[in-house]
Amino acid sequence: MPSELSHGHPRFSQDMSNSSVSTPSASLKNLEWQQRNPEDEEYHNKQICKWTYQDVVDFMFTAWDDLKCENLDINFAELSGSTGLNLLQLDENGFKQFSKGYGDRIYRYFLDYRAKEERRQSQVESHQPYFTNNHLYSTPYEMNGDDNNYHPRVTSKQSPIVCETAAPYEVRYERLDHRELRFEDGSRYMPSSLNYPTAAMKTYIPSNAHSSPGVHSRVAENISDIEHSNNEEEPRPEPPKKRGPGRPRKPENELKKKKKKTGRLWEFIRNLLLDPATCPSLVRWENPEEGMFRFVQAEKVAQKWGDRKQNKDMNYEKLSRAMRYYYKTEIFEAVLGRRLVYKFGKNAKNWRPSNPNFPDHQTP
DNA sequence: GGTCATTTTCCTGCTT
DNA sequence: AAAGCAGGAAAATGAC
């Protein structure tokens, strides 16, 4: 049987059954300085030149959403396989191949995004402190109500160096005076080089630098804490617990984590249905005229949703509960008697496929 | 900080 | 029996 997940799709070519994906919420025990696979990062967390096809698709959907485009007008046949490097080489006409109606606007949106990335880069070059908790870039656009275009948001006050995260493998950006940024292969980042700093970089303190209390010492403490707790704690008998109804309170130390915008579940599902990389392999249309579709690989869809929400515990059971909540708002309609089948309701927008299940898109 | 919408988590009971 | 469905309950989370 041909794997439906390959398709030359960089993200999907990973072994999706591997449940040991590292996320910030992954158990801190057994953690060393393991680095997140750069391909696990979402597109706004990495340089455009490192975008995979999936990142490009995510970017296009985000642009389409943010630009409040009326109809979904993305030519996946043209877009298929494109990476960030490809996008960087395109002009407006190139973007129009991907979207006849919105190519020009998406192109400007992309240029703005790119300008933002370059400005971040120049901040690093000029040794200005720039730091986020766990990613380099934040959503960089805002709408100008007058001309309906997007413009880079200028945030003049970027708060320097606040590091609260306990995940020791997350990147720390700091002033570069006493430190070096390095790429994964250990080579040094030079501000003038073509390679921008990435979220996969580590920071190093040269041995001759003054050791000052700060991020790194805190990281080290975290690691030693982890090792400590790993070695010290003996298994203790768990009292038999019977929980009451409802969602249990999260442990204190897991609260207050800043999450990024992830979009709504029904839009995520819709996007899977409109993308030949995921339709019909993960989800497929049963009756596109009526908006009826079916989960083909329900657990994998849930896993992808969990990836997006940085929730390694997501599964189809929980995802389907969220799907059922949409019945009330008529985003989805119940399809009685058919397992794994749902239907878009009257309040769902832009789900209508131009090429349902992409019959001509099978890879040889 | 309060409110609201949207999940997420867990559950019981039911159906396929 | 297992998987999926329906929907209640309550907590988490982000947006406003």
pLDDT band at residue A232 using 50, 70 and 90 as cut-offs? very low
Please identify residues in chain A, positions 296-315, with a C-beta within 7 angstroms of any atom of strand C. Answer: 298
Together in a domain, A189 and A61: yes
Determine the distance between A299 (CA) and B6 (C1') in angstroms: 21
Q: Which pLDDT does position A317 carry in this prediction?
A: 96
In a domain, A111, yes or no: yes
- What is the DSSP code string of A164-210? ----TTS-----SSS-EEE-TTSPBP-TTSSSPP-TT-EEE--TTSP
Comparison of pLDDT for A283 and A25, the residue scoring more? A283
* Higher-confidence position of A1 and A289: A289
Q: Is A218 contained in some domain?
A: yes
* Tally of structural domains, chain A: 2
The pLDDT value given to residue A139 = 33
Which of the listed residues A223, A253, A280 is the one where a domain comes to its end? A223
In a domain, A2, yes or no: no
The last residue of a domain, from among A173, A198, A223 = A223
Specify the pLDDT at position A64: 80
User: Is the domain of A98 the same as that of A204?
Assistant: yes
Over residues A126-175, the pLDDT tens digits come to 654 433 333 333 333 333 333 333 333 333 323 222 222 222 222 222 22
Instruction: Tell me if A301 is assigned to some domain.
Output: yes
Final residue of a structural domain among A223, A257, A279:
A223
For residues A145 and A61, which has the higher predicted lDDT (pLDDT)?
Answer: A61
Our CA angle for A107, A48, A31, nearest 5°, is 145
Q: Is A152 helix (H, G, I), strand (E, B) or coil?
A: strand
Question: Do A182 and A66 fall into the same domain?
Answer: yes
Is residue A246 domain-resident?
no
Structure confidence at residue A83 (pLDDT): 86
Distance A69 CA to B1 C1' (A): 35
Domain that holds residue A149: 38-223
Residue A359 domain flag? no
- pLDDT of A25 over the 70 cut: no
Please tell me whether residues A177 and A301 are part of one structural domain. no
Q: Give yes or no: residues A101 and A171 share one domain.
A: yes
At residue A294, does pLDDT exceed 90?
yes
A307/A238: higher pLDDT: A307
Closest residue by Cα to the C1' atom of nucleotide B16? Answer: A337
pLDDT above 90 for A313: yes
Question: Are A68 and A189 part of one and the same domain?
Answer: yes
